[in-house]
Amino acid sequence: MKRLPERLLPWYEKNRRDLPWRKDRAPYHVWLSEIMLQQTRVEAVKRYYARFLETLPDIAALADASSETLQKLWEGLGYYSRVRNLQKAAKVIVSEYGGAFPRDYDAIRALPGIGDYTAGAIASICFDLPVPAVDGNVERVLTRYTADCRPADPKLRSELRKLLASVYPKDRPGDFTQALMELGAVVCTPNGVPDCENCPLVADCKAHAQGNETDFPVRIPKKPRRIEEKTVLVLRCGDRIAVRKRLETGLLAGLWELPNTEHHLSLEAAIAQAEAWGVHPSAPESVKSAKHIFTHIEWDLRCYTIECAASPDLFRWVTKEELQTEIALPTAFRICL
């Protein structure tokens, strides 16, 4: 473990990717990128990151933004609780720290939506504190490097943080944090054989010596996703489409949605539901099947597109332009359009 910094830091200098959030060490930029990168690919995050900062260039702007603005900026990224927590934390930073990001690990960790990993990343990258940050990439690197057979769970990550803390360099701790992340992202990758030939740690890697790199980390079998059937009605009245707000709790809380019901409805039942909503429907123009996967749930969607003669106030009726510029419609519903 003591060899990690001397092996990784020179490698990182030569091989680091040129990513937008590495242009500086501004806490707001690092924080935003780390939250966006949770459960999301780097290439997808790049355009969201640029657009978000263009609209909300600093923490004060984030704290003052409307929920509609936030939802639209986050549209398509998923896990919308992330952006709600971003704003909650921004408001704390403005009210308790005068808009300046706190520099102490414990204070960073106490902000809404920030866990051990994100706090460690910000503390080390932005403030040169020798604090470990263990995400999935780092966990994979370390369990392969040490051939750690313990199951991958929160307890293991806690132990790995302690192990890393004992060897964290006081010089360039932020680069060391990013080097570990980078190695897991581009060399010691998941879902396939890692690129051991180009790994700076290969000489000491126990899993490589054993020839079983892909056995680590040891995964606990996941429970199968719960499948939920839904019927989505794309109700069109002239050039407008019906949307409505979801409840403020639960999955996709507070976001816009297309009108929908539980279970799959037959054509006749879908028309009857539309009639019950008072939209005076005609026969559906099209029927479409789709699926959308959340972390623990899979939606099996049946989508009917129906022309309507009435547009009751039960829904908000929006234009195509409003859908593009104002209304944040989650991917689970946008695929039905």
* Residues assigned a catalytic role: 34
Give dist(CA 247, CA 335) in Å, integer.
Answer: 21
The answer, yes or no, to whether the previous bond of 217 is cis (omega within 30 of 0) is yes
Q: Give me the phi and psi of 203, to 5 degrees please.
A: -65, -30
Give dist(CA 129, CA 300) in Å, integer.
Answer: 47
Counted residue by residue, the chain has a size of: 337
User: Using alpha carbons only, how large is the chain's radius of gyration in Å?
Assistant: 24
The residue with tokens 């990993």 is 117
Cβ neighbours of residue 221 closer than 8 Å, sequence gap 6 or more: none
Helix (H, G, I), strand (E, B) or coil at 150: coil
Give dist(CA 88, CA 85) in Å, integer.
Answer: 5
Q: Which amino acid is at 323?
A: L
